[in-house]
Structure 1
Amino acid sequence: MTVLERLKAAGYDPVKAITHHLTAGTGEMECARIAINTFRGLPLERNILVVTATAFTVLPDGSYGLYPEYWPHYLEASARLYFPLDAEFGSCEIDPQNRSEHDRYVLLDRLLSDCRYFLGAGHRSDACLWAGNVQSQAQTMRSLWASLPEDCKPTWTTLEKINQYVEEMQRCEIY
């Protein structure tokens, strides 16, 4: 898969980006995995989410790391997209059968990571969640979990753990 295809599998569809017309030539490198960084910004005079992705590659010392900025073809190895913060990055309407088993597994991990961030450094902001709000995030995680075959369920989480995250996320914080 290319960098852009992996971004799409993670829930950041380049076509929905404000700057999708500027992605030509970027993110076209085939890679085994990518690193995704997100942050809020105002570069286009509107509140947006900036998403950057960089391919992992084998470095000269034999280790596996991010494709260095100073190497040739860095544009193909990376992508930067801008999304309006009101955009839906995910959707509880996803059809798990249209995604590969691997993509569903990876997306479930991503959604759980979002939940941990939401409860910690994300300060309970819905903008941290792939699905845009707690209810949609919960529904999507449960749908993904149910869609995985019994012999391929993740060993790093359970449906009970997912439900615990949802309960904790739905609790009101009083300051």
Structure 2
Amino acid sequence: MKDILKSDAKFRYMMLGRFQRDCEYYLNFGNRNSNVLWSLDEGKHIENMKALHNSFEENDKPEWLTWEQILEYEKLMLIVEPRSTAIE
């Protein structure tokens, strides 16, 4: 990830878009399987998205992906499903 953060803005925009598409697939058609994420881990994936988003100057941040949207992905992807405590 360090090398990506050192890349030019165009490449970082492309990677952020890739990460966003990974989130959408994970949440919709990917059956919440972390193997569909570039980072292979939900927490790390969100952490990487935040780092990419923060790598842009304030006036260069993407309009198509806000900080609030990243936080929403984080909330949706890091939900821990409650386990049944009933004995079957």
Alignment map for 1:128-167 (pairs within 5 Å): 128-167=36-75
CA distance in 2, matches of 1:174, 1:133: 19
| Higher relative contact order (CA closer than 8 Å, sequence separation 6+) | 2
Offset at residue 135 of structure 1 (A): 1.1
Offset at residue 97 of structure 1 (A): 4.2
Higher helix share: 2
Task: State the TM-score, normalized to the length of structure 2.
Answer: 0.85
Does structure 2 conserve the Cα–Cα contact (< 8 Å) formed by 1:96 and 1:147? no
CA distance in 2, matches of 1:97, 1:116: 22
Cα distance change, pair 121–148 in 1 and its aligned pair in 2 (3 A):
same
CA distance in 2, matches of 1:102, 1:149: 13
Q: Match for residue 10 of structure 2?
A: 102
Q: Per-residue CA shift, 1:88-125, capped at 9, x if unaligned?
A: xxxxx424442111000110011011001000100000
Aligned length: 83
CA distance in 1, matches of 2:79, 2:42: 11
Cα distance change, pair 169–112 in 1 and its aligned pair in 2 (3 A):
same
Q: Mark the structure with the bigger radius of gyration.
A: 1
Cα distance change, pair 96–147 in 1 and its aligned pair in 2 (3 A):
farther
- Aligned pair partner of 2:32 in 117, 121, 124: 124
Q: Which runs of 5+ in 1 are unaligned?
A: 1-92
Structure 1 segments of 4+ aligned residues over 3 angstroms from their partners: none
Alignment map for 1:1-175 (pairs within 5 Å): 93-173=1-81
Higher strand share: 1
Deviates most, 126-135 or 96-105 = 96-105
Q: Amino acid of the residue matched to residue 137 of structure 1?
A: H
Task: State the TM-score, normalized to the length of structure 1.
Answer: 0.44
Cα distance change, pair 97–130 in 1 and its aligned pair in 2 (3 A):
closer
Q: Which runs of 5+ in 2 are unaligned?
A: 84-88
Aligned-partner SS, 2:2: coil
Aligned-partner SS, 1:136: helix
CA distance in 2, matches of 1:114, 1:106: 12
